[in-house]
């Protein structure tokens, strides 16, 4: 290996460096193999899945197939005065008035919970929300927020066409 040296005019050595600088690969490869062996030894191997105790349930012919339940129909209809009527199913309805809308929305939530309990419905059951075209957006948005806040997430909105 050839070395390059530089000297001062008075003859003292300034620096001394090798002419060809090369990276020694053998120690680096040794370190990589040592790290690889270390991680292989320290790794926690998962057990085989077939070693876990598990048995599948048997299918019985008497079981009824799961079907999607009939949607709960909620209709929003405009009244002659300010406000609207929310009809839940065929039997229950709540009048929403503009002067005490917050109290009426709480009443709507209570009636909705009663209907869900009496019909053995779940929050995941489908709901069809039918709305007349003349309903103010503010009423529709607040009623939808009450339904969504009650946990109903599968809501289909059906807009009735205007008679005009």
Cα distances (Å, whole numbers) of residue 137 to 21, 24, 78, 110: 78, 76, 12, 22
Displacement of CA 4 from its chain's centroid (Å) = 67
With a threshold of 0.95, does the pTM exceed it?
A: no
Please tell me the predicted confidence (pLDDT) of residue 68. Answer: 77
Give the C-alpha separation, 133 to 104, whole Å. 21
Mean pLDDT of the chain: 81
Please tell me the predicted confidence (pLDDT) of residue 37. Answer: 94
Write out pLDDT tens, residues 111-133. Answer: 988 988 988 888 888 899 888 88
Domains belonging to the chain, first-starting first, are 3-42 (no CATH), 72-159 (3.30.420)
Write out pLDDT tens, residues 64-102. Answer: 667 778 888 999 988 887 788 899 988 888 988 878 888
Residue 2: is its pLDDT beyond 60? no
Please tell me the predicted confidence (pLDDT) of residue 32. Answer: 94
């Amino acid at each position: 290996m050839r070395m390059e040296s530089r000297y001062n005019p008075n003859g003292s050595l300034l620096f001394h460096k090798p002419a060809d600088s090369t990276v020694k690969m053998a120690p680096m490869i040794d370190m990589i193999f040592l790290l690889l062996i270390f991680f292989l030894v320290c790794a926690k191997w998962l057990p085989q899945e077939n070693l876990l105790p598990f048995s599948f349930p048997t299918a019985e012919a008497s079981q009824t197939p799961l079907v999607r339940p009939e949607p709960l129909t909620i209709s929003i209809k405009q009244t002659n005065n300010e406000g609207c009527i929310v009809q839940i199913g065929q039997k229950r309805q709540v009048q929403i008035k503009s002067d005490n809308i917050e109290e009426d929305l709480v009443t709507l939530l209570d009636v909705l919970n009663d209907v869900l309990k009496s019909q053995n419905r779940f929050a995941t059951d489908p709901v069809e929300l039918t709305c007349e075209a003349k309903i103010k957006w503010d009423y529709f948005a607040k009623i939808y927020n009450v339904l969504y806040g009650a946990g109903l997430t599968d809501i289909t909105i059906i807009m009735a066409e205007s008679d005009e």
